[in-house]
């Protein structure tokens, strides 16, 4: 379930202690205590908080009928907000924010792309995306989750759930045994390790040669014999250290 965002408001004293000195301020403010232990104090001026401590080591709240105090500690820095009087307080559900990408097939709630993941805002199912992936407007015919578009030698449209559609299997069909190891001449095989795909020598462990497969489509062959990939930053050889790895050296 979503985490909680705690909000306080009222006439408060805000005290910030740090090795460089102490600052004490008072005013009618809005205090936001985030799930990641970030504490923000907002007043009526500008967009920047009056005081803040980001992702503190600890965050504690004390509240009763007479008022509240919120304290964040991070090393030798302490931010403490104390109300003068009962003030106002409320608790709200909080989730990551991201670009909408469809509905969760399990609970019907919105799904968003937040960083490198697709997340349901209610049941919090999370699906990690491979680097360079984009989420399409289409849904998987089997499970209803969004489809993603990924380039690893070729471009594939597949489900964001690896259990439903395997990226490694698609890459294997496209690149397995297509190129030779530059060190011993054996086939380069597609290998999956910890969620990432590599081209590794079939003679392993006798030959340790292996290359991470970049996000992009193959656009030719480098003079070293390995594939060239069109990536977001330009054409490069599968071997990122290859001195010939530019589009000018592409073979037929």
Q: Is pLDDT above 90 for 14?
A: yes
* Amino acid 29: pLDDT: 97
* Amino acid 252: pLDDT: 37
Q: Measured between alpha carbons, how far is 152 from 169 in angstroms, rounded to an integer?
A: 11
Average pLDDT over residues 13-27: 96
Assign 3-class secondary structure to the chain: CCEEEEEEEEEEEEEEEECCEEEEEEEEEEEEECCCCCEEEECCCCCCCCEEECCCCEEEEEEECCEEEEEEEECCEEEEEEECCCCEEEEEEECCCCEEEEECCCCCCEEEEECCEEEECCCCCEEECCCCCEEEEEECCCCCCEEEEEEEEEEEEEECCCCCCCHHHHHHHHHCCCCECCCCCCEEEEEEECCEEEEEECCCCCCCCEEECCCEEEEEECCCCCEEEEECCEEEECCCCCCCCCHHHCCC
Instruction: Report the SS3 class of residue 99.
Output: strand
132-149 pLDDT, tens per residue? 999 999 999 999 999 999
26-79 pLDDT, tens per residue? 999 999 999 999 999 999 998 899 999 999 999 999 999 999 999 999 999 999
């Amino acid at each position: 379930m979503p985490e909680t965002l705690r909000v306080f408001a009222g006439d408060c004293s805000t005290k910030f202690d740090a090795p460089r000195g102490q600052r004490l301020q008072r005013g009618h403010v809005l205090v936001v205590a985030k799930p990641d232990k970030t504490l923000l104090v907002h007043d009526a001026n500008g967009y920047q908080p009056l005081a803040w401590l980001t992702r503190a080591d600890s965050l504690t709240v004390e509240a009763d009928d007479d008022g509240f105090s919120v304290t964040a500690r991070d090393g030798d820095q302490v931010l403490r907000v104390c109300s003068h009087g009962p003030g106002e307080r409320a608790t709200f559900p909080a989730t990551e924010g991201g670009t909408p990408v469809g509905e969760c097939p399990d609970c019907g709630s919105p799904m968003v792309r937040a960083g490198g993941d697709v997340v349901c805002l209610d049941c919090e199912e999370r699906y990690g995306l491979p680097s360079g992936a984009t989420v399409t407007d289409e849904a998987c015919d089997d499970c209803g989750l969004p489809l993603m578009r990924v380039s690893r030698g070729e471009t594939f449209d597949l489900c964001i759930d690896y259990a439903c559609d395997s990226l490694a299997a698609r890459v294997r069909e496209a690149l397995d045994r297509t190129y030779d190891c530059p060190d011993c001449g054996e086939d380069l095989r597609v290998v999956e390790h910890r969620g990432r795909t590599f081209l590794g020598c079939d003679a392993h462990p006798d030959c340790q040669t292996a290359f991470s497969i970049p996000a992009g489509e193959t656009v030719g062959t480098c003079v070293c014999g390995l594939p060239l990939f069109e990536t977001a930053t330009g054409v490069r050889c599968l071997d990122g250290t290859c001195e010939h790895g530019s589009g000018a050296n592409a073979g037929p």
